[in-house]
Chain A
């Protein structure tokens, strides 16, 4: 089945610094989603990006489908960005979703 590896496992930044998160997956994915999980556990969708580059606010995701990898760039980090970032590829139909173990981000003031 699909295997997802995210790196780094954890990241500590000073406010204002940029972050680059990586996601590699083992099988073809027709959809690739990035989520944010708050320290309290709630999940929010950040970006859906099956291929190419997508921007929203301070976030940029680049997915290279053939190489089965995606990245999430966070610019000008803020303390409120602290939490866990999850990558989740899915196959045709999007019904089966496999999550990576996440990158835990801590942004200090």
Chain B
């Protein structure tokens, strides 16, 4: 069975500090991977997707970047956090539908 893990579960960070969020998929080779972001009370927005290792497509520009260093790993990062980065970050993989991880809650102060 496939499992998807996200880390950390939650973070409180200062404006201007760096950020790295991780996502790992187990039990599925060469998955399509996705990052989503949801502001509190807001609509879920797709940020990035990746079809293969080393290739990432940006969907929405939010001063964030993503990388796929391994087949089963997807990383979301920024060097300088903004207040507007606060929210809920979800990673997903897809086959016939999208399967979501448990998410990371980020609060930027």
Interface centre among A44, A95, A99, A100 (most CB of B within 10 A): A95
**CB of A66 within 8 Å of the partner chain:** no
Q: Which residues of A contact B103 (CB under 8 A)?
A: 41-42
Is the beta-carbon distance between B43 and A97 smaller than 8 angstroms? Answer: no
The number of chain A residues touching the other chain, given as a range, is 20 to 34
Q: Tell me the bound Cα distance from A43 to B94 in angstroms.
A: 13
Is the beta-carbon distance between B34 and A97 smaller than 8 angstroms? Answer: yes
- The residues in B between 41 and 94 inclusive whose CB is less than 8 angstroms from any CB of A are 43-46, 49, 51, 57, 59, 88, 90, 92, 94
- Pick from B46, B99, B105: contact of A96, CB below 8 A: B46
Main secondary structure of the interface of B (DSSP, over half): strand
The number of chain B residues touching the other chain, given as a range, is 20 to 34
Interface centre among A99, A100, A102 (most CB of B within 10 A): A99
**CB of A30 within 8 Å of the partner chain:** no
Is the beta-carbon distance between A42 and B45 smaller than 8 angstroms? Answer: no
- Pick from A35, A45, A94, A102: contact of B43, CB below 8 A: A102
- Give the interface of B toward A (CB within 8 A): 32, 34, 38, 43-46, 49, 51, 57, 59, 88, 90, 92, 94, 96-100, 102-103, 105
Which 4 A/B pairs are nearest by Cβ-Cβ distance? A43-B100, A99-B44, A45-B97, A101-B43
